[in-house]
Amino acid sequence: MIDEKLMVSLGGIDQKIHIRTDDGTKPVLLFLHGGPGVCNRNTIMTHHADLADTFTMVTWDQRGSGGSWKGVEYEKLTIDMMVEDANDLVGYLCRRFDKDRIFIIGGSWGSLLGARLANKHPEHIAAFVGFGQFVNGALNEKISYEYTLAEAEKAGDAKGVEALKKLGAPVLGVYKGGYDGMMIQRNLMMKYGGYSKNEKKRSYLQAFIVPMVTDGEFSLYDIFGLVVGHKKVLKAMWPEVGATDLESDCVDFDVPVFIFDGRLDKNTPADLVEHWYDMINAPEKCLVWFDNSGHNPMGDEGERFKRLLREKLIAVKEREACRI
């Protein structure tokens, strides 16, 4: 049994990871959290800890967030920097657990990070799984904003409509006021079920930040990074994220690609996923729809999600073993 929180040097910065498994010989599954800057190892290691019966689970607080905040120059953060950090972590995990390749899974921003990682550094990746799949930052925010405005108007929410119209539509994925403007849209989007039908009427703070602080996974050191870091990371990176389009530069993969997406997602809208998926060239690919899920099918339809995750990834592992 391994249940260990530790710091590892990635890109010259000490960053925190949490490893859990009942057998260190099992396939390694690295989780890439969303945001950027919104750590979720608390959720993974509590609600989904049962995955340790199949995998060596690894969660990671990415540079600038959670337990990985110290020594970070936030204004210099880039997508490529995060990709290289992730690649360093993949290398560390392969060495530690004597693996040639590991599995990676990313949600929301983590699905952008995971796609770029699998595209650029496939050598030690056994397969990539994306959910709440990011495709195009500008179109993402346009669709999400229009959905939220339409739902607020339908509900007769005069205050919400006024706030959204005052905010205005995003330009190249970026809202007026930056982080603060995005939070206006995100809170209203969650109110009207665009994140999840299970999260309606809960704010971004209630749904994500409060559990991070209260559920015991994070130390006081980590919580400081959560509270301070998530805003700094988002502010620094969102203009680049908003300008990103995976269809233009991230369609060729040398590893299997599995997309598990919620039909009801209006955070990273499901409307964009299928066209990008059809463009993907990969040795194996599969798009699985979760009809009753929003942005996080791992939470909305957890048992089905984990059953299919086990099936898809273990099948990849078995095919690899047959080729040896």
CA distance 141 to 158: 22
Least confident of 47-56, 114-123, 167-176, 189-198: 189-198
Strand partners, 257: 128, 285
**Is the pLDDT assigned to residue 319 strictly greater than 90?**
no
Mean pLDDT of 53-71: 97
What pTM does this model have?
0.94
pLDDT of residue 202: 57
On average, the pLDDT of the chain sits at 93
pLDDT exceeds cutoff 80 at 252: yes
Rounded to whole angstroms, the Cα distance separating 3 from 21 reads 7
Q: Using the predicted structure, report yes or no on whether residue 200 has a pLDDT greater than 60.
A: no
Average pLDDT on 48-56 reads 96
Q: What is the 3-state composition of the chain as percent helix, strand, coil, each rounded to the nearest 5?
A: 50, 20, 30
Q: What's the order of all strands across the beta sheet hosting 285-290?
A: 2-10, 13-21, 56-60, 28-32, 102-107, 125-131, 257-262, 285-290
Q: How many other C-beta atoms lie within 10 A of the C-beta of residue 49? A: 12
Q: Alpha-carbon distance 37 to 228, whole Å? A: 10
Residue 196 pLDDT: 87
Q: Which helix (H) or strand (E) holds 19?
A: strand 13-21
pLDDT of residue 296: 95
pLDDT at residue number 198 = 74
pLDDT of residue 212: 66
Rounded-to-integer distance, Cα 297 and Cα 292, Å: 8
Calculate mean pLDDT across residues 264-274.
96
pLDDT greater than 70 at residue 168: yes
CB-CB contact of 99 with 80 (8 Å): no
Measured on CA atoms in the order 123, 127, 130, 134, is the torsion positive or negative?
positive
Give the model's pLDDT for residue 199: 62
Which of 263 and 318 is assigned the larger pLDDT? Answer: 263
- Total residues found in the chain within this entry: 324
Q: Residue 64 above 70 pLDDT? A: yes
Residue 318 pLDDT class (50, 70, 90 cuts):
confident
